[in-house]
Amino acid sequence: MQYTIKNSTSIIKQKEECLVVTVQTGKTQSNLIKEIDQSTNGMISQLINSGDISGELGKTTFLYVTPNSNKQKILVVGCGQGKNFDINAAKKVIQAAIKELTTKKVKNICWDILTLNSALSGEIAKQLPQITSELTYSFDQFKSTKSKQPNLQKITLLYSDKQTINHVESQLSQGQIIADAITSTKNIANMPSNVCNAKYLAEEGESLGKQYTNLKVTCLGEKELAELNMNAYLAVGRGSANESIMTVIEYHGAKDKKAKPYVLVGKGLTFDSGGISIKPSAGMDEMKYDMCGAATVFGVMQAVAELKLSINVVGVMAGCENMPDGNSYRPGDILTTMSGTTVEIINTDAEGRLVLCDVLTYVERFQPKTVIDIATLTGACIIALGHHYTGVMGNNLQLIEQLVNSSNKAGDKAWSLPIDSDFQEQIKSTCADIVNAGGRDGGTITAACFLSRFTEKYQWAHLDIAGTAWKSGANKGATGRPVAMLIQYLLDQK
425 labelled as ligand-binding? no
Residues 6+ apart with CB under 8 A from 200: 191, 270
Ligand-binding site membership of 464 (annotated): no
d(C-alpha 343, C-alpha 121), whole Å? 52
Q: Measured between alpha carbons, how far is 9 from 162 in angstroms, rounded to an integer?
A: 11
Q: Is 353 an annotated catalytic residue?
A: yes
CA 410 to chain centre: 10
Q: Is 373 annotated as a binding residue?
A: no
> Is residue 447 within 8 Å of 163, Cβ to Cβ?
no
The DSSP secondary-structure symbol of 353 reads H
Q: Under 8 Å CB-to-CB from 384, ≥6 apart: which residues?
A: 391, 417, 444
Distance (Å, rounded) from C-alpha 117 to C-alpha 91? 13
Annotated ligand binding at 290? The verdict is yes
Known active-site residue 154: no
Q: Torsion angle of alpha carbons 356, 417, 288, 234, nearest 10°?
A: 10
Q: Is 351 annotated as a binding residue?
A: yes
Strands 470-471 and 477-478, by their bridges, are antiparallel
Residue tagged active-site, from 6, 59, 154, 279: 279
Nearest to 465 by CA among 350, 386, 377, 380: 377
Catalytic residue among 73, 126, 288, 353: 353
- Say if residue 25 is exposed, middle or buried (CB neighbours under 10 Å; 0-12, 13-18, 19+): middle
Q: Report the binding-site residues.
A: 267, 272, 290, 349, 351
Name the residues annotated as catalytic.
279, 353
Annotated binding site for Mn(2+): 267, 272, 290, 349, 351
